[in-house]
Amino acid sequence: MKKNFLVAALSIAVATASSVAYAQLGALSSALGGAGSGSSVSAEGLVRNYVGGTKNVMTADIYMLNALGLKEQAAKEELAMKNLTEGSTSAGLEDAAKVQTESSKALEEKMNGKKVTMDAEGKKNYSLGLLSLAKGVKDYMGMSGDVKNFRPGLGSIGGAGGAAVYVVKSLPDSTTNLLGTLKKAVAFARENKIEVPAEATSVL
């Protein structure tokens, strides 16, 4: 009887220790932003979606830059887009954003200048650019919920974590700026009798 009692007591002690260890592991997972955090938004997922949206925006820039004769800037952005990957760090995302901002300024200056003459191919490229830009804006807008739900933890120090923090900080302003760019691009298209895809106006 005494032996059975000792065995039972030992089993209870082991079970208790296991429960404590499991609880501690769950707390650590939560702190690192893992599955135990109660949030379905991962740093990797956030960065992946952001890169996808940014590539749509950069593709739009390349189309429109070429259409407006800004081929040097278009080549620069195309290279930057190739260097942008789902595994990019915050520095990589920032570098791509700088090039994209340069392109936006170059496009705006060109649009605000004298009337631009484009052939049929140029107008087609510009129209494709509007379509891609609208896709990028929709991608960014669709991420607003993920950005609000993302909770950086101890794992958000480098790599995907650092890149995700950059996305959270920059996305609101980037979305606002892109909406403004899309409005100007659509207005320019209408002034110059360029086809405006329905998708380009659906987000305005």
Q: In the chain, where are the structural domains located?
A: 1-31, 41-201
Average pLDDT over residues 8-21: 42
pLDDT, averaged across the chain? 83
Statement: residue 204 has pLDDT above 50: yes
pLDDT per position as a tens digit, 135-187:
999 999 999 999 998 987 655 556 789 999 999 999 999 999 999 999 999 99
Higher pLDDT, 14 or 82: 82
Contact yes or no for 48/91 (Cβ under 8 A) = no
**With 0-12 CB in 10 A as exposed, 13-18 as middle and 19+ as buried, what is 98?**
exposed
- H-type alpha helices, 113-159: 120-142, 144-149
Per the CB < 8 A criterion, the answer to whether 153 and 163 are in contact is no
Q: Say what the pLDDT of residue 115 is.
A: 74
**Is pTM beyond 0.85 here?**
no
State the average pLDDT over residues 188-202: 94
Q: Is the pLDDT of residue 10 over 50?
A: no
Chain segment 40-52, per-residue pLDDT in tens: 689 999 999 999 9
